[in-house]
Structure 1
Amino acid sequence: MLVPALQKIMSADNGQVVGYEALARWTDLDKTLTPSECIPNWKRTDIEMMSMLTDCEFHKSIDTNFLFINVSPHTLACAKSFELWLDALGELSKQLPGQCVVEITEQVPDALLKARWKTIQSQKVGLALDDFGDGHSQFSRLHRHDWDYCKFNAVRLSNLMDAGALVYCQNSGIRTIVERVETEHQRYMAQLVGMEWQQGFYYNEPTLITEFMEAAQA
């Protein structure tokens, strides 16, 4: 069964929660599965994720204004699914006290992103380039579109593989976020190069929305 999970995005400067990323998870008896551990129907998953987040009114329990949510290439490629997804995005955005940020994953082809970009941008949401350095998430894509956020891998950042892209973001006013932070060294290195917003197991693991709501109501 699909159950959204939330992972906190933290400020390394003051330790405060600055946002959440909504992640797809599936429960099977006593197991919680990630997308890599099952074969999801992404066209249905993207829409159901936002509908479930809207229906549970989780926004009443969060202490931040930003929610990051992924959209798959499968949803973007199918006209009907894309239309339904836009409707679900609009309903979710109405509930949030702040901004919904759509993450464009590295699997989305350039031509597909170009075809859908203006329509997504017109929804008054933030746009984030996800997993810089992987797949289609390269410097050419970063330079081609008007991004609000760019998410970097902590391992690549520690090796200075993405230094040029990081400088470009900082000079262009694009908010940078480092993901997959798992150690104190990664946290420190990211903060050293100006990456205040951080996300990863070093801070917290994703929490199923059911558990999140129970904890908020306790």
Structure 2
Amino acid sequence: MNVRLAVQPIVSASTGNPLAYEVLARVQNKDRLCSPASLGEKHWVHIDRAVMQGLAVCHDCPGASLPLYLNLSADTLACDDAFAAWCCDAASLCRLHLAGVGIEISEETPGDVLERRWSTLATLNACMILDDYGTGLTCLNHLQAFPWDVCKFEATRLMEGLDEDAINYCREQRIVMIAEKVECPAHQSVMCDRGIDTHQGYFYARPSLLASSCLETHQVIQ
């Protein structure tokens, strides 16, 4: 399985300007590139590492003056050796990418695993991001249990009026809120009405592959 890197901007709805870029993995599926999740892949430890190794050889990643958001899977967090290797790579990236690094914690991460890893993650001085609030294992207790910097909400949930308690908590704690999977003008309008100005989704931009000069393919051992 080959992994390529893509980036998707996170933007201010009020200005249209990018505020950060999320780094995404894409894998080959016949004649097209897909998200690993869409293939039901269970190689998250290898994918997490491949992304970090790919970034290490990427010299013209867009938005050098903007933070990069990286996904960290529950599988990597649960494995001592994989977590140690990932943190070593992340520390190097944090030193090199002066605009800052954000770590998106998977919604599938159990609270006890995250509690065990949090102090080590804190040494990276990265922005800590709770991904996909309201899905997987995330809930208000999960949000309140750790000092998050950012919380990402799915636009479809907010369109249904869900997650109001979490939104209020984020406001009280000054946790930055990001509406993700914003895919149409209606999504944008409702997110803004709910006081969330930072957006991510196809309405603004689809993920774009990094140039082949950055990373053509990165082999993942199966």
Give the alignment's TM-score, normalised by structure 2.
0.91
Please give the alpha-carbon distance, in whole angstroms, between the structure 2 residues aligned to 1:185 and 1:110.
34
Residue 97 (structure 1) shift: 2.7
Query: What is aligned with 2:100?
Result: 99
Q: How far off is 1:212 after superposition?
A: 9.6
Q: How far has the Cα of 1:54 moved from its partner?
A: 2.0
Does residue 172 of the first structure (1) align with residue 181 of the second (2)?
no
Worse overlay, 197-206 or 45-54:
45-54
Structure number with higher helix proportion: 1
Q: Number of matched residues?
A: 213
Question: Is structure 2 residue 51 aligned with structure 1 residue 49?
Answer: yes
| One-letter code aligned to 2:45 | K
Matched residues, percent identical?
31
Unaligned 5+ runs, structure 1: none
Equivalent AA in structure 2 for residue 54 of structure 1: A
Which contiguous aligned blocks of 4+ residues in structure 1 show a shift greater than 3 angstroms?
Answer: 211-214
Which amino acid in the other structure matches residue 103 of structure 1? E
| Residue in structure 2 matched with residue 181 of structure 1 by the alignment | 182
Give the structure-1-normalised TM-score.
0.92
SS of the residue 1:108 aligns to: coil
Partner of 2:7: 6
Change over 3 Å in CA distance of 1:10–1:30 after alignment to 2: same
Q: What is the SS of the residue equivalent to 1:187?
A: helix
**Equivalent pair of 1:54/1:95 in contact (CA under 8 Å):** no
Q: What is the aligned-residue RMSD (CA, Å)?
A: 1.7
- For structure 2, the 5+ residue unaligned runs are 216-222
Determine whether 1:118 maps to 2:128. Answer: no
Q: Which residue of 1 aligns with 2:60?
A: 58
Q: Which structure's relative contact order is higher, taking Cα pairs within 8 Å and 6+ residues apart?
A: 2
Query: Offset at 1:64?
Result: 4.0
Q: Find the aligned partners of 2:204 and 2:151 in 1 and give their Cα distance.
A: 19
Shift of 1:211: 6.5
Cα contact 2:5–2:24 (8 A) shared by 1: yes
| 1:7-47 per-position Cα deviation (integer Å, ceiling 9, x unaligned) | 11110010101111111101345311211333252111111
Could you tell me whether the CA contact under 8 Å between 1:158 and 1:189 is conserved in 2?
yes
SS where residue 210 of structure 1 aligns? coil
Tell me if the contact between 2:71 and 2:105 (Cα under 8 Å) persists in the aligned partners. Answer: yes
Q: Secondary structure at the match of 1:127?
A: strand
CA distance in 2, matches of 1:14, 1:64: 17
Q: Distance in 1 between matches of 2:170 and 2:101?
A: 20
Which deviates more, 123-132 or 93-102?
93-102
1:182 & 1:123 partners in 2: Cα distance? 33
Structure 2 contact 48–72 (Cα < 8 Å) conserved: yes
